[in-house]
Structure 1
Amino acid sequence: MLRGEIAALTAAFLWALSTVIFGRLGKSLSPLVLNLAKGGIAIALIVLTLVIQQNLQPQLPPAAIFWLMLSGVVGIGLGDTAYFKSINHLGARRALLMETLAPPLTALIALIFLQERLGAIAWCGIVLTVGGIAWVISERVPAADQYSFNLKTGLLWSVLAQLGQASGAVMSRGALANTTVDPLWSGLLRIAAGAIVLVILVSSRGSIRQQFIPLRSRQLLPLLGIAAFLGTYLAIWLQQIAFKFTPAGIAQALLATSPLFVLPIAASLGDRITGRAVLGVMIAIAGIWLLIGTS
């Protein structure tokens, strides 16, 4: 009971934790290189786990393999790249705010293609959760963080990113629900497919070896390993568990709560948390309670 919901919230927490580390790494590595490097580490960790589990001969229907790999291409390879592009044009705060479109988009796509119908209480929970997150993220921040180089271009990239994320989630849900596909194998297929796209994108910018030179630093590599372990290996595994056992719209709404977990982490690092942020968290928690209550 509730294992999908618990997995989604745990993944959101791990993403929040790793985001702090990725923020530091992003000062030395380009987004594409960082995304590819963490994906490579996660693939190695998943393969090692499968070897330890002696789970190297899975029963994977061809249709499930196709949809999982396509979800990796769309959601991780293209969706994440579009998200990084949106950050460059909108700023991190506005890009995060646009991310709140993903849960309702996921629920709508799942309704159309998977016939997953959510009740009124579940929709209310999604609205409250997304609204609470948006309330926290949209809080006024110092002018240094409020840049907008090209609003129209940024919004276009952001919408494409959310469509990629939502479509990838529904494809994963379709491949995992009511099947015997192992969430760990589905995570491996998704990350591997996304990595193929990232290799193509990184190689189009010049020598891959040259772009990976900063990773020779003894300071960066351990941080990257920790972030990849928490935010990619464990979080993607938990994400796939969430998609297997929870309707796509509800799972995506719970997975989107990572900005809420960032607040206590930021407070522990000395940042001031406002009353507005606390209110937003309370609204989102009410939505989470409704979502869990409908399960």
Structure 2
Amino acid sequence: MRPEALALLAAACWAVAALFSAPASQRLGAFTFSRWRMLFASLILWTIALATGGWRTLDASAFGLLAVSGVIGIFIGDTALFACMNRLGPRRSGVLFATHALFSAVMAWLFLGETLWGWALVGSGLLVGGVMLAIVWGRRGDEHHGWEQTQGRLAVGVMLGLLAALCQSVATLMLKPLMTTGIDAVAGSAMRMSMALLAHGLLFATGWAGARSLAPLRWKDAALIFGSAAVAMALGMTLILQAMKHGQAGLVAVLSSVTPILILPVLWLVYRRRPAVGAWLGALLAVAGTALILGV
């Protein structure tokens, strides 16, 4: 399968997982939610890596890079994303996180020598512009759902969303050279997840109040977190690493940024009301941009 298609599938996984993530994250808190999610994802990924023999592709020389990537992208980035979602809701946190496409394109050019030209560049511009349009102007004027309310200071939520996007870009791009060596994507994801979980465990062990749960874990919460871990982390992140093996890092990042577009039908189900006109226009631009990219 083409790496561009893998990136789109990863974006779809993240969009679907948002349905499981938001309620449990808001109830338990970003740190507790992320900690449990990483535990479930680690168990799933290591089970697959051991069953398929993918763990044999892991080399001791790659452990350091995988560990740093896991701490930056998953421990810091994922936790910041859900802290942002708890403050601003899935729609507005989505547009902030979508900026990782821009961060990735610039850093891929600076550090990996990758460039986007011709129809790929035009398509990337349409796609990113469509995502921004769909989210910024995607809210109906009379929408008062709880996910649209700001909890705490808006500036803090914005900074958390941008931090999550930057961490996602840095953590993914730093693995591009490693993934071309033939390392198994599932095993690589398992190692990254385990290192992020270890960092969360150490933070929890310090006794810091912010790492404590806001509420007791219920069976319903555990089921939602497991679903989020399986779809977004075990499957979605593995698809991204697989796409990195053969695709341009910047292009993969751009295509994976369509999550906010794909989440619109999910939010439609929650709100029980169709998205605003801006959301439809943004979605059309994103689809046009994707078509141009896949056509190159």
Normalising to structure 2: TM-score of the pair?
0.87
Name the counterpart of 1:94.
92
The one-letter amino acid paired with 2:246 is: F
SS at match of 2:129: helix
After alignment, is 37-46 or 117-126 more displaced?
Answer: 117-126
Residue 163 of structure 1 is matched in structure 2 by 166
Aligned to 1:23: 22
Q: Indicate how the Cα distance of structure 1 residues 95 and 27 shifts in structure 2: closer, same or farther if over 3 A, else same.
A: closer
Superposition deviation, residue 184 in structure 1: 0.9
Of all paired residues, the percent bearing the same amino acid is 26
SS at match of 1:105: helix
1:118-197 matches, cutoff 5 A: 118-139=116-137, 140-141=139-140, 142=143, 145-147=148-150, 149-177=152-180, 179-197=181-199
Instruction: Give yes or no for contact 1:254–1:288 (8 Å, CA) kept in 2.
Output: yes
In structure 1, give the amino acid aligned to 2:50.
Answer: V
With over 3 angstroms needed to count, the CA separation of the structure-2 counterparts of 1:59 and 1:41, relative to structure 1, is: closer
Query: Which segments of 5 or more consecutive residues in structure 1 lack a partner in the other structure?
Result: none
Task: State the distance in 2 between where 1:77 and 1:209 align.
Answer: 12
CA distance in 2, matches of 1:180, 1:264: 36
Within 5 Å, give how 1:39-78 maps onto structure 2: 39-60=38-59, 62=61, 64-78=62-76
Q: Which amino acid aligns with 1:39?
A: M
Q: Distance in 2 between matches of 1:224 and 1:42?
A: 9
Aligned partner of 1:240 in structure 2 is 241
Whole-Å Cα distance in 1 between the matches of residues 215 and 94 of structure 2?
Answer: 30
> Are the counterparts in 1 of residues 31 and 210 from structure 2 also a CA contact under 8 Å?
no
**Distance in 2, Cα, partners of 1:257 & 1:180:** 27
In angstroms, what is the RMSD of aligned CA positions? Answer: 2.6
Give yes or no for contact 2:46–2:187 (8 Å, CA) kept in 1: no
User: 2:32 touches 2:211 (CA, 8 Å); kept in 1?
Assistant: no
Over 3 Å counting, the alpha-carbon distance change for 1:272 and 1:44 in structure 2 is same
- Of the structure 1 ranges 220-229 and 85-94, higher mean CA displacement relative to structure 2 is found in 85-94
Q: Is the 8 Å Cα contact of residues 104 and 126 (structure 1) preserved in structure 2?
A: no
Match of 2:260 in 1: 259
Q: Does structure 2 conserve the Cα–Cα contact (< 8 Å) formed by 1:7 and 1:241?
A: yes
How far the C-alpha of 1:206 sits from its partner, in A, is 4.6
Equivalent residue, structure 2, for 1:104:
102
Q: Which runs of 5+ in 2 are unaligned?
A: none
Q: Distance in 2 between matches of 1:229 and 1:100?
A: 22
Query: Aligned ranges for residues 194-205 of structure 1 at < 5 Å?
Result: 194-205=196-207
Tell me the CA shift for residue 29 of structure 1. Answer: 1.2
Given that 2:268 and 2:274 are in contact with CA atoms closer than 8 Å, whether structure 1 keeps it comes out as: yes
* Residue 287 of structure 1: aligned partner: 289
Deviations 1:71-110 (A, max 9, x none): 1111111122333444466554433222232112101111
